[in-house]
Structure 1
Amino acid sequence: MASFSGGFYFCFLLVASFVLFSCSSGNVSWAATDFDFGTLTLSSMKLLGDAHLSNGSVRLTRDLGVPYSGAGKVLYSKPIKFRRPGTQSSASFSTFFSFSVTNLNPSSIGGGLAFVISPDDEYVGDAGGFLGIMDAKGAQSGVVAVEFDTLMDVEFKDINGNHVGLDLNSMISTRVCDLDTIGVDLKSGDLVNSWVDYSGSTRMIKVYVSYSNLKPKEPVISATFDLNEYIVNDFMFVGFSGSTQGSTEIHSIEWWSFSSSFDETPSYSSVLPSGPPPPPPPTASLMNPTADTVTPPPPSVAPQPDNSNATSHEDKGSGKCHNQLCKNGPGAVVGVVTAGAFFLGFCALALIWVYNKKFKREKKSETLASDVIKMPKEFSYKELNIATKGFDSNRIIGHGAFGTVYKGILPATGDVVAVKRCSHSGQGKTEFLSELSIIGTLRHRNLVRLQGWCHEKGESLLVYDLMPNGSLDKALFESRMILPWPHRRKILLGVASALAYLHQECENQVIHRDIKTSNIMLDEGFNARLGDFGLARQIEHDKSPDATVAAGTMGYLAPEYLLTGRATDKTDVFSYGAVVLEVASGRRPIEKEVVGVGKGGANSNLVEWVWSLHREGRLMVAADPRLSNEFDEAEMRKVLLVGLACSHPDPIARPTMRCVVQMLVGEAEVPIVPRTKPTMSFSTSDLLMTLQDSVSDLNAMITISTSSSENSFTGVAGGLDLV
């Protein structure tokens, strides 16, 4: 018994020592940060503007037809400590990254990219020579950047279109190096490696550039500056920014590692003088960081003596451990072995229990596609139940087609969120999977951000950022305050930008299928955030969509969609046109009751009413009278014409959403809208083929009202959701 107790006590000491060692080894400097592409996940990166993932790398810009100017930014999602409060002590940092610049149209001019230290994680600056870092008004102060510029801009005193520069709160570089002098061509399409080291104690920054994986002996830029003079916050964000200017230049970040601390040298820099961490092989993927070749070597540490040396040292020093064990004899050894076996058995049982719980939990999730839902965070049902006070009816803030939305306060962080509780029907589960698989991979400033999900206890829950100003529908028709014209104009531009992203800039085209004011949310600055992707579909670009049951809300549905059941980007454009007319006129797309003469007669369909006003030369009558003429008449007329152009009966005649954005910002003219609303017609063969293709896939009937002179399709009830 004494032997067992002694062995158990020894085992306890081992466990306690292991716990203490784990705690002490994990107790690194509170200000230290260390990560790389091998450890980053989708949730630890923030993609802004044109930035997106492509084949395991991060692309800052998009491959779009010229002329196109855009900007994108990727940031590490957590702020990094760069300054100790109340002191002038700034952090040291080292970063290594590999990138490539590819210009598919050599005759077009480029832009460039930059490693940036930024005060916030939402701002994207202007395109072109501004590299997405700041705008023409000089906004976004407190930025430190190392630019790799492929555009010679006289305004910023650039020396050529192939240089690296140090930017301190200005796009005019403090230090510049012509990369032609070291034989590096940024626009070659080849992989370029760069190292940036800054010492907080010496206040020296050094920038190295090379095609080789080996760090060069001499930096291309070496300068002394005090980081405290340029950063505005103790905590800052790090990442990359890039832009184009009327070009197809693609900027890809293939590998990135970063380390910072308040020590003389950050922990990661110890490996840099002898060469950088190996960059990932061509097949390495950001989304598959398990390969040993991707992870950089750990920081060097002092070698530890082996066990034999430790034992002999103890024997020579005190003789206690070794001699005491021998003195106790075989009993003590048996006790140690017995206790060790007991401890291992206990650990095995614990592992079996944990595995069994995990297996049961996964089994409860039925056949949910786990590979689809790895990217957003998984919340527990208990956490969301507490957040919504047991889904209290007093917490309801909205209703969707297949679920209810609750306001929630996360117990762990205190963050206020919106929790969508999908209905238990098959349609509710389909919407849950559709929304999760689509919106979970999208990143755009005008889309509602999906924080996470939960599929537990038979519940399907989605967690979003809470939009403080609710839906556009409520802001237009239920708020006591009249939504002013500048807000309406900004909202329409935001929605157009989001749809242009979904239709033309995603890897797979996304058709929303339910564009309406109640699905457009407003953040604290009344910026539009398009949400509710439960009816959305992803298709490959230029691929014909399949016929389905027409889904959406009457008043927003395109006539050809009602006929064929085929949703395309052009059906989304029609819905957007209805939203434009709704926002400009302050009138719902379908009025349930006949409106008075002041509203233009007895026509209850908004699109038809505005077309009739345009035919009569009285288009401005459609402007919302509640605005009391507090708007620019030319702007209002342009917006109404954009709404009519998008609502054209012929889908081919409707503009793309990218063109709509250009119209709204004044970069393109609004197309001539005919005074008389055109009719939509089908040839007999096309109509028969469409119906034959559609009937086999439809499970519901759509009533079609046809006249002898033209094909027309009208809804019988306003706000009716078709499923």
Structure 2
Amino acid sequence: MTSPSTIFSLLFFFFLLLPPTTLSQTTTTTFIFPSFTLRNITLLGDSFLRNGTVGLTRATPVPASSSGSLLFNTPFTTLHSSTFSFSSSFSFSISNSTSTFSTSSLSLFLNSSHHSLSLLFLTNPNQLSLNLNNNPIQSTDPTLHAVHLNTGNLFTSWVDYNGTNNPRKLSVFLNYSNSKPQNPILTLDFDLSQYFKDNFHVGFSGSTLGSTDLLQISSWGFEFESFQEEPSFNHSNPNNISRNPLSVDFDDTVPAKDSNVVGKNRVKWFAIGVAIAGPALFLLMLLVLGYVSFTKWRGGVRKQRGKCFGTSVVAACCPKEFGYKELKLATKGFHVSRIIGKGSFGTVYKALFESSGTIAAVKRSRQYSHDEGKAEFLAELSIIAGLRHKNLVQLQGWCAEKGELLLVYEFMPNGSLDKMLYQESECDGSGGNVVLSWSHRLNIAVGLASVLSYLHQECEQRVIHRDIKTGNILLDGNLNPRLGDFGLAKLMDHDKSPVSTLTAGTMGYLAPEYLQCGMATEKTDVFSYGVVVLEVACGRRPIEREGQKMVNLVDWVWGLHSEGRIIEAADGRLKGEFQEEEMRKLLLLGLGCANPDSAQRPSMRRVLQILNNENVTLVVPRVKPTLTFSSGLPLSLDEIVSDAEDEFKPGQFMCEIKID
């Protein structure tokens, strides 16, 4: 076996034989897909491959929401202390648009563990936007260049970034043909090397909201060059792929190649290296080997931690990993004064990041030291990381350190819906409390129906939330609803029935069959949605005490409906400022969703269609259906009429519960 000293000696003389300009390197990686196969790419969400073309969204016969991504499997690596250039061209189309009011977006993205750059093509209105970390930094209107994105035509776009010139420049070209225009549609002086200093992935993402649009990528080429020290870059044509990369007929990756600049006088440099630089190079070699060993060890630790927590895939896809100290500082050590809410499996804190001046919400697992807390944390992380909808609370990052499991969300300034409906709010300036207007309430019902339709029927795997309630519906700055708290959610294949061994959720919102059997389906979410709709319309809690009597909201509204007085259930604080037919439709929709017979409840897609006047209103019987369950119900009467979130105690049951 060769001794370590022999290896070091050989390496030493090998280093001496190289010219001192060896560290001046160029690494080039190129791939070209004139059409796609499943080789070297990963499809996420609703994306699919058909006849060599990748569809990022699903074409649907009725307006719906869909999202998907295409990811190139191999990450790109920038050399240490280096800069880089890249060029990409791709052909895409946005077709099957049936409404001028639909919104669709398609983006080319570069994602590292800390930063994200995306080129976003948006319809309604037509817009081309360059975003850094989801913040627009430059945008333009393609229609000013006679380009309309939602016509269904095939477009070709070129994105060139030259990281060697001063200033460094990024340019975007767009055309109906594969002939590159002379003038860019968007250009920006921008230094990307300060943001992308390690591995990053490239790919596409697409999403539709309330449309039948189909977003497709038919071809893609990408060339990446990383330079260290003084690069020998061809400035006359720094982005070779922009000539016509899509005409090359292969779909694999061109391996990375290193080019060494050879000195003119090798003998002279050899003599100088032996006499002067030998000890320095030997020391450098030791440092490099030590650094490589340390990097491999640290990467192994991180990889193992990712396997333990199951978050390595999530971290590579979108949200950033926060440091525990950063989150602790932003929440003042998780001080009680920063608590803004409590979810099913955690406490939520307001976090202020002084370095950036941004505000976020940090959810801290209530049972982080137990396996159950970890399981719920990973469930929420794995579910939310793959979801994209305007009525979902956006996940910004996560942290798994020091036994803590933390999720970072965007901050919702108007808090939760239940606080807006029931608790004292800030005065509106006239001495009265802020009251949600009818238009805001109707928008909340529509937005919640839209996101539940997305979760139930438009995801690759349906998501059963299992805890729909006003406390889990947050309101952004414009009072738009955002559904959050996925700690109880379950991912299920569309052809399987989600059976839960533990009935969990909040009393007053739980469907009768879920209380009896513990089986959660999309219809249990529909029941909870119906209760929320009645709360929004009536301004009453699901279960309220009136004197010595507990009044169930569903029973109360159904009683008024049976007497032909359902409009009297409207929230008195609205002072009649609503359209009576809209109020009647919303109240009947709430009763229809809260029908004790799950088979009679509509799907969330039909609910959304009814709210958008695309389907007929539900027929709700005047007398509430009666269902009888016998024995085995693990609940006491006090628990049934409470709003508690704790788990049910074993051994307590009623012989019979009658729902009428």
Asked if these proteins are the same fold (TM beyond 0.5), I'd say yes
Instruction: Report the CA distance shift for 1:526/1:253 in structure 2 as closer, same or farther (over 3 A).
Output: farther
CA distance in 1, matches of 2:209, 2:235: 36
CA distance in 2, matches of 1:665, 1:643: 15
CA 1:571–1:199: 2 relative to 1, 3 Å = closer
CA–CA distance in structure 2, aligned partners of residues 245 and 398 of structure 1: 31
Aligned residue among 151, 156, 159 for 1:194:
156
Distance of aligned partners of 1:411 and 1:122 in 2 relative to their CA distance in 1, 3 Å threshold: farther
Q: Equivalent of 2:216, from 237, 246, 251?
A: 251
What is the CA–CA distance in structure 1 between the aligned matches of 2:156 and 2:392, rounded to whole Å? 34
Residue 672 in structure 1 maps to residue 619 in structure 2: yes
In 2, distance between residues paired with 1:280 and 1:113?
31
Maintained 8 Å contact 1:539/1:545 = yes
Aligned with 1:207 (options 171, 175, 181): 175
**Is the deviation greater in 51-60 or in 628-637?**
51-60
Residues 14-61 of structure 1: CA distance to partner in whole angstroms, max 9, x if unpaired? 999999x79xx99xxxxxxx9999xxxxxxxxx9xx985457997443
1:551 to 504, 513, 531: 504
Q: Counterpart of 2:314 in 1: which secondary structure? A: coil
Shift in Å at residue 672 of structure 1?
1.0
Question: What is the root-mean-square deviation of aligned Cα atoms in Å?
Answer: 5.3
Closer, same or farther in 2 for the Cα pair 1:405/1:555, shift >3 Å?
Answer: same
CA distance in 2: counterparts of 1:672 and 1:582, whole angstroms: 20
Change in CA separation of 1:650 and 1:454 when aligned onto 2, cut-off 3 Å = same
Change (3 A) 1:676 1:208: closer
Match of 1:438 among 383, 389, 395: 383
2:401 corresponds, among 456, 459, 473, to 456
Give SS of 1:416's match: strand
Q: Corresponding residue for 2:579?
A: 632
CA 1:15–1:270: 2 relative to 1, 3 Å: closer
d(CA) in 2 for partners of 1:280, 1:35: 9
**Mapped partners of 1:491, 1:460: distance in 2:** 31
Alpha-carbon separation, structure 1, partners of 2:624 and 2:567? 17
Tell me the equivalent position of 1:702: 634
- Among 342, 345, 351, which residue is 2:283 paired with? 342
- Pair 702,36 (structure 1): closer, same or farther in 2 beyond 3 Å: farther
Alignment of 1:194-273 (within 5 A): 194-196=156-158, 207=175, 209=177, 219=179, 251-252=216-217, 255=220, 257=222, 269-273=239-243
Distance 2:288 2:270 in 1: 28
- Local SS of the residue matching 2:477: coil
Cα shift at 1:172: 6.6
Compared with structure 1, are the counterparts of its residues 206 and 369 closer, same or farther at alpha carbon in structure 2 (3 Å cutoff)? closer
- Alignment partner of 1:619 is 2:566: yes
Cα distance between partner residues in 2 of 1:475 and 1:386: 29
Distance in 2 (CA, whole Å) between partners of 1:569 and 1:666 is 22
- Partner residue of 1:567? 520
Question: Alpha-carbon deviation of 1:115?
Answer: 7.4
Are the aligned partners of 2:349 and 2:361 in contact in 1 as well (CA < 8 Å)?
A: yes
TM-score, normalised to structure 2's length?
0.69
Deviation at 1:477, TM superposition (A): 1.1
**CA distance, structure 1, for counterparts of residue 451 and residue 479 of structure 2:** 15
- Please give the alpha-carbon distance, in whole angstroms, between the structure 1 residues aligned to 2:277 and 2:144: 63
Map 1:389-468 onto structure 2 (within 5 A): 389-410=332-353, 412-423=355-366, 424=368, 425-468=370-413
1:715 aligns with 2:640: yes
Decide whether the 8 Å contact of 2:361 with 2:411 is kept in 1.
yes
Equivalent residue, structure 1, for 2:228: none
Relative to the length of structure 1, the TM-score reads 0.63
* Residue 239 of structure 1, CA deviation: 7.9
Give the distance between the partners of 1:248 and 1:584, measured in 2 at CA.
33
* Alignment counterpart, residue 482 of structure 1, candidates 417, 422, 435: 435
Contact 2:543 2:550 in 1 (8 A): no
Checking the alignment, whether the CA contact within 8 Å between 2:64 and 2:208 is kept in structure 1 is yes
Match of 1:654 among 597, 601, 605: 601
Pick aligned residue for 2:57 from 61, 65, 68: 61
> Which amino acid in the other structure matches residue 668 of structure 1?
N
Select which of 299, 314, 322 maps to 1:373: 314
Q: Within 1, Cα distance between the matches of 2:300 and 2:518?
A: 41
In the TM superposition, residue 557 of structure 1 has moved relative to its aligned partner by: 0.4
> Is structure 2 residue 594 aligned with structure 1 residue 594?
no
Which residue number corresponds to residue 605 of structure 1?
552
Per the alignment, do residues 250 and 358 of structure 1 end up closer, same or farther by CA in structure 2, a change over 3 Å counting? closer
Aligned to 2:132: none
Verify: 1:385 aligned to 2:328, yes or no: yes
Pairs within 5 Å for 1:497-516: 497-516=450-469
Change (3 A) 1:51 1:363: closer
Does residue 579 (structure 1) correspond to residue 543 (structure 2)? The answer is no
Distance 1:547 1:239, change over 3 A: closer
Q: What CA distance in whole angstroms lies between the structure 2 residues aligned with 1:385 and 1:248?
A: 43
Rg comparison, structure with higher value: 1
Any idea what SS the aligned residue of 2:409 has? Answer: strand
Quick one: which amino acid aligns to residue 537 of structure 2?
Answer: A
- Length, aligned pairs only: 552
Question: What does the per-residue CA deviation read over 1:510-555, in whole Å, with 9 as the maximum and x for residues that have no partner?
Answer: 0000000110111111111100001000111131222421110011
Residue aligning to 2:492: 539
Q: Determine helix, strand or coil for the equivalent of 1:454.
A: strand
Q: Which amino acid aligns with 2:89?
A: F
Write the distance in 2 (CA, Å) between the matches of 1:678 and 1:430.
38
User: Equivalents in 2 of 1:204, 1:413: separation in Å?
Assistant: 29
What is the Cα deviation at residue 351 of structure 1? Answer: 4.1
* Matched position secondary structure for 1:553: coil
Return the letter of the residue paired with 1:168.
Answer: L
Q: Which amino acid aligns with 1:521?
A: L
1:673 alignment partner, SS class: coil
Q: Distance in 2 between matches of 1:721 and 1:460?
A: 20
- C-alpha separation in 1, matches of 2:209 and 2:469: 32
Q: 1:207 to 1:666 in 2, by over 3 A?
A: same
Change over 3 Å in CA distance of 1:67–1:484 after alignment to 2:
closer
In the alignment, the residues of structure 2 paired with residue 409 and residue 58 of structure 1 have an alpha-carbon distance, to the nearest angstrom, of: 41
CA contact (8 A) 2:49 2:55 kept: no
SS of residue matched to 2:349: strand
Structure 1 gaps, min length 5: 1-7, 27-33, 38-46, 77-92, 104-110, 135-140, 146-166, 177-185, 210-215, 282-292, 316-320, 326-331, 597-601, 692-700, 706-712
Which deviations, in whole Å up to 9, do the C-alpha atoms of 1:101-137 show, x marking residues without a partner? 999xxxxxxx9999789xx9999655xxx89999xxx
Structure (1/2) with the larger strand percentage: 2
Q: Offset of 1:664 from its aligned partner?
A: 1.1
Aligned to 2:40: none
Residue 58 of structure 2 aligns with an amino acid whose one-letter code is R
Label 1:411 to 1:636 Cα distance change in 2 as closer, same or farther (>3 A). Answer: same
Identity among equivalent pairs (%): 40
Spell out, residue by residue over 1:619-656, the C-alpha distance to the aligned partner (whole angstroms, 9 max, x if none): 11111111111111111111111101111111111111
- Mapped partners of 1:116, 1:367: distance in 2: 32
Any conservation in 1 of the 2:56–2:70 contact (CA below 8 Å)? no
